Amino acid sequence: MIKVGVYGASGYTGFELIRILRRHPSLSLAFATSESGAGMRLSDVFPVPYDLYLLSKEDADPGTVEAVFSCLPHGAAMETVASAHAAGVRVIDLSADFRLRDAAIYKQWYGQDHMAAHLLSEAVYGLPELYREQIRGAALVANPGCYPTSVLLALYPLLQAGLIGDGPIIADSKSGVSGAGRKPSLKTHFVEANENFSPYSIGRAHRHLPEMVQEIESLGGPGASLIFSPHLTPVDRGILSTLYVPVPSSTTLTSIHNLYLETYALEPFVWLLPEGQLATLAHAVHTNRCALSLTLAGPGQLIICSAIDNLLKGAAGQAVQNFNLMFGLDEAQGLDL
Ligand SMILES: NC(=O)c1ccc[n+]([C@@H]2O[C@H](COP(=O)([O-])OP(=O)(O)OC[C@H]3O[C@@H](n4cnc5c(N)ncnc54)[C@H](OP(=O)(O)O)[C@@H]3O)[C@@H](O)[C@H]2O)c1
């Protein structure tokens, strides 16, 4: 059994992670942290019969485990991640702190200096469908953002094949309220979110934009063409991104479908729907899947629908997928296909 620890277990992604770890056959959970819940049991902070006692992060000793998952907010994660890394422990960080390779871009978008910038070049972007081999050998994995996971998996086959034409790539994304974390805010207040549907940080203003631009450009694509418009939708969980992408006007739906089939043929967690079907939240929530559907609206006008569960393929499920790769286990162990 591989001993692991979880920082930030009292949040939504931390709790989801603990639920997976409990049924994972190769892991044992050595510690879980919460600052507000230190000294309490997990069953005191979530309605589950789980008597694990929570520690404050200062009392959790990374030296007692082989790997840690950090489910802390950005900014708070970097120091904890750096200490665990310095203790020789393999780290999967779910925050944005190690996703951007350039510390200046991090500061521009997150409004603070990076306290562990020396680790940015070492961190591997944890999207297994793109970086599986690098993840296997990584000491530090930066788990991707939830929106970027849905958008990048939708675009990857086109980027690889160099098939994106001129003009904007529009990613119109809808997220459930758990995407904002457990800490309440006016935006996530029941009365504000329920029966409502709100755009926010639209255009090129959301913090996930530079992460997507970085990865699109690494694959030789036009990052500057991306327009990303997120929306809050009144469901607990799930992200549906609808992407409008310019492709060569000679492209047929069958040729694009075949390209996606070939790219993702061996991927356990990418589900390409048959021509004529459309991906919905229900194709993905409560699983680690990304469901994709393809539609040609007219010559050169491709529409991709991409659905994930923000807490699973967008966070805790993908983190375990990365862990499995890092420790040479079956990539799907503990996860719902
Ligand atoms: N929610 C999503 O869909 C999603 C998807 C992908 C990635 N992420 C990322 O994953 C991370 C966790 O997200 P979440 O939604 O689980 O957040 P959350 O529900 O707000 O939980 C945050 C956790 O971090 C702890 N925490 C907060 N501030 C801390 C600090 N200064 N020092 C130590 N612990 C602290 C909290 O503990 P106490 O409050 O109990 O002290 C809690 O356990 C974030 O970086 C987020 O951006 C979230």
Q: Is residue 336 in some structural domain?
A: no
Question: For the segment 178-190, what is each residue's pLDDT rounded down to a tens digit?
Answer: 999 999 999 999 9
Q: How far is the CA of 86 from the centre of ligand 1 (A)?
A: 22
DSSP per position, 5-60: EEESTTSHHHHHHHHHHHH-TTEEEEEEB-STTTTSBHHHHSSS---PBPB-GGG-
Task: Please give the Cα distance from 175 to 75 (Å, whole number).
Answer: 23
Q: 337: pLDDT confidence band, cut at 50, 70 and 90?
A: confident
- Looking at residue 240, which CATH number applies to its domain? 3.30.360.10
Q: Would the pLDDT of 220 be above 90?
A: yes
Which pTM does this prediction carry? Answer: 0.98
Counting ligand 1 atoms within 8 A of each CB, the residue from 13, 18, 125 with the most, and so the one to mutate, is 13
Query: What is the domain range of residue 9?
Result: 2-143+315-326
In this structure, the answer to whether residues 126 and 266 fall within a common structural domain is no
Do 332 and 320 meet the contact criterion of CB atoms below 8 Å apart?
A: no
In this structure, the answer to whether residues 66 and 157 fall within a common structural domain is no
In this structure, the answer to whether residues 157 and 59 fall within a common structural domain is no
Give the mean pLDDT of 250-257.
Answer: 97
Query: Which among 120, 127, 55 is positioned nearest to 288, based on CA atoms?
Result: 127
Site residues for ligand 1, CB cut-off 6 Å: 8-14, 34-37, 57, 71-74, 76, 94-96, 145-146, 178-179, 181-183, 310-311, 314-315
Strands 169-175 and 226-232: parallel
* Counted domains in the chain: 2
Q: Is residue 182 in some structural domain?
A: yes
From residue 281, alpha-carbon distances to 149, 242, 289, 302 in Å are 14, 12, 11, 20
pLDDT of residue 15: 95
In this structure, the answer to whether residues 63 and 153 fall within a common structural domain is no
In this structure, the answer to whether residues 36 and 181 fall within a common structural domain is no
pLDDT of residue 127: 98
Q: Which residue has the tokens 């755009």?
A: 199
pLDDT of residue 336: 85
In this structure, the answer to whether residues 134 and 156 fall within a common structural domain is no
Do 257 and 294 meet the contact criterion of CB atoms below 8 Å apart?
A: yes
Task: Please give the Cα distance from 160 to 149 (Å, whole number).
Answer: 16
Q: Is residue 335 in some structural domain?
A: no
Counting ligand 1 atoms within 8 A of each CB, the residue from 6, 46, 52, 71 with the most, and so the one to mutate, is 71
In this structure, the answer to whether residues 139 and 197 fall within a common structural domain is no
Question: For the segment 15-63, what is each residue's pLDDT rounded down to a tens digit?
Answer: 999 999 999 999 999 999 999 999 999 999 999 888 899 999 999 999 9
Q: 229: pLDDT confidence band, cut at 50, 70 and 90?
A: very high
Q: Would the pLDDT of 151 be above 90?
A: yes
Task: Please give the Cα distance from 229 to 205 (Å, whole number).
Answer: 9
Which protein residue has the closest C-alpha to ligand 1 atom 25? 8
User: For residue 52, how many other CB atoms are within 10 A of its CB?
Assistant: 16
Do 153 and 270 meet the contact criterion of CB atoms below 8 Å apart?
A: yes
Do 237 and 178 meet the contact criterion of CB atoms below 8 Å apart?
A: yes
Q: Is residue 333 in some structural domain?
A: no
- Ligand 1, atom nearest to 76 Cα: 31
Strands 67-70 and 2-7: parallel
**Residues with Cβ < 8 Å from 5, sequence gap 6 or more?**
29, 30, 31, 32, 33, 60, 62, 64, 65, 67, 68, 69
- Looking at residue 138, which CATH number applies to its domain? 3.40.50.720
Would you name the residues annotated as active-site residues? 146
